[in-house]
Structure 1
């Protein structure tokens, strides 16, 4: 069944299932349990839930300590705090020591909308992908987020970051869809252009590809749910088989998906890459869809870029 719901709700729902299956699983909260949907986990597994209060650096320290004792901790907070306020502790206490700690953050990108720039984590994935040993991912909808979270907890070993949306996102995947960390999913075939998206804006890529098909342009669409490690094979295949690449993300165009894809392209004889994302500026208060459009994160802009590629402009 395809579900339209926020990906932070997917986090809370899957935690309850994983809590039954993984004996050593712990959730470390920074006093945002209601918002992060971890209250049901706390109620069901009170002995496996730790609320450190509004002290995110302590989240990292407590999680690191638990990991050294054989536990599997998941830090739960907002993207602005999980990527910046406790960055030094993530680097020194978790990544440098290669501990199996997971960081789960909501309110990534512009999804906090009316809360404004102070709460919109537009740099998080870029910041954390620069730290050695860190895996960085984001599901596009409810079902994909549950599957990626499960993979992160049950199959992946080492530091990992997963990002969620605050608001509901349109459902794309069926609940039976399989996901592998570091392996992109191709949702549409095409040899004219490739659209690579991450997170909830994948739906914009799919809508654009459908309109482009009506215009006679075949667009390949990739869900690059993991931006580190990036699926370089999928990028290189797109580079060989299509005329250019468009990346789409609700993240600063610097150091996010667009930068990661461009690095691969530049190191392999080059090609056309258009980056669509937040235009290296802070967000502001307003409806989510309006904020996206102000940064060119729209179906129309994806179509315009694809047409430029096909025309050789």
Structure 2
């Protein structure tokens, strides 16, 4: 897609070497007028977008192994008037990094998603090692490289992350492609305060907030898409956080909001329940 004229700066979860950083670079390579800016957390990213400190942000929303990135889904709920304008699919290949290839690893640090995506490998090769979650894969590498550890000596600590981290932080690659399933793909989306124009090969994302917790509510909504022959690509629930047993539903489907057929479906849904439109945008290649 052409670079929207309003986008000059895109925020991502840093520091350098995270998979978000790689995704941001990949998107910026296609949009040379855009600069990228690292942030410390996903919460900060959405806050910067709402304060217009950056023009857009890039965040992971789904992984082919672990499914939805739940904290990102919750941030969408809490930040209305933010819209997905593009998406990209990024392959993820995890490595085990340490100070030296022969390190006696007793603690393994990384982002929760990376740790989860390598559970089988860790159980087989490091069954007695402890794990510790960090805010990003790069943060784990930074802590090890700088010796900012409390309970373990650096030579007993390993990190899961990309091969690029080994170069950036001067770490050794102990093992490569340690994710439990290959290929391992993460879907990233670019989020802005503006809408994307139709391209002819688009998809739309929305959140359904059922007004009543009763049989048939979700089925009625999905029937509107079926009757119009609109393909659903994702339906996923998240706790509504107001009462145990209440859920909201994230729905992705083919088509653009400018299409009269899509508008008709959304009008029907709006009369029955509340929904939050998350944007219509080009499908990833």
TM-score bucket of the superposed structures, by smaller chain = 0.3 to 0.5
For normalisation by structure 1, the TM-score amounts to 0.30
Q: Which has the larger radius of gyration?
A: 2
Task: Name whichever structure is richer in helix by fraction.
Answer: 1
Task: Name whichever structure is richer in strand by fraction.
Answer: 2
Report which structure shows greater RCO (CA 8 Å, sep ≥6).
2
